[in-house]
Structure 1
């Protein structure tokens, strides 16, 4: 959700026409890993005449989290919403869905990948995210985990973060400041442009 929607301000976007295929529905679910609804949801999306535009699947602990975006005509999404309402009655599945808008590309943001590894301790991720926030850098994707090192048994922390750096920031200075922060926290880190 963007800041303008959170603040209750109207979005400066033209809503898609009722007959267009640019309508989107965001679907989020939580369930036990053995009962992931991915296949069921993919079928419901196809049966409603919609496309699965984006999908993220994560297993965290003993649970599975899905974030899906379905796109299609207004009436196809309405059909899908009815199907999801029936599916949500399953008490072992936590499901929410709502209409959303396609993200408008922002060519002022440069995509960079940050990777961090260190001995695990509380507060590492907070300090990293604070640094990005302070420098007007958006966190586009984030994956972090704790694990036990195979060789020594040490408790470790690892994060992969895709960020959007405003093009008016000086990259070399930003990288130096970030690596200086990581040095002060005794983190091994890299910041490289995303190449795709």
Structure 2
């Protein structure tokens, strides 16, 4: 019997940070299954899915919490079984628009009102060609319930502001 653990961490970016975490996971009998890691503003943060034998989970959690002494904030949560799949369509939304305060709030609020579930979101700021203006770009993987038309998702997002462009792609 195995247990899934989801750990999140953040600390000052430095060489060896990911290695310190992976050594604790391996020594605790865990397998590093999936992760998203990034350096942002001098901090290194991540979320990692780990599978560990059930009888070794508490030891691994204790070993990971010892990393706090090295200035690394670590939180471990036991995973749960995924909810049974519903009738939905997986889409990838690509949002591009002039950067402005509240754009993530507005996009996510629109998706929530439609009942669309965000599976993954990544965003960045980039310079527009020719003008150099700051442009907000987001790639959002979502699950759209069967009762919601994909075109309604597009129209709802495009109504946020005239300068937002939305491209919808079926997930692979």
TM-score, length of structure 1 as denominator length: 0.78
Aligned length: 172
Aligned to 2:121: 142
Instruction: Give the whole-Å Cα distance in 2 for the aligned partners of 1:36 and 1:122.
Output: 35
Given that 2:67 and 2:73 are in contact with CA atoms closer than 8 Å, whether structure 1 keeps it comes out as: no
Q: Does 2:134 align with 1:155? A: yes
Q: Distance in 2 between matches of 1:161 and 1:108?
A: 19
Q: Which residue of 2 aligns with 1:83?
A: 63
**Mapping 1:102-141, distance limit 5 Å:** 102-141=81-120
Q: How many Å apart are 1:82 and its aligned residue?
A: 2.1
Give matches, 1:1-196, under 5 Å: 20-21=1-2, 23-35=3-15, 37-90=17-70, 92-149=71-128, 151-179=130-158, 181=159, 184-195=161-172
**Higher share of residues assigned strand:** 2
- The corresponding residue for 1:5 is none
CA contact (8 A) 2:91 2:170 kept: yes
Gaps of 5+ in 1: 1-19
Q: Which has the higher contact order (CA 8 A, sep 6+)?
A: 2
Root-mean-square deviation (CA, aligned residues, Å) is 1.9
CA distance 1:189–1:96, change in 2 (3 Å): same
TM-score when scaled to structure 2?
A: 0.88
For structure 2, the 5+ residue unaligned runs are none
Tell me how far apart the structure 2 counterparts of residues 54 and 63 of structure 1 sit (CA, whole Å).
20
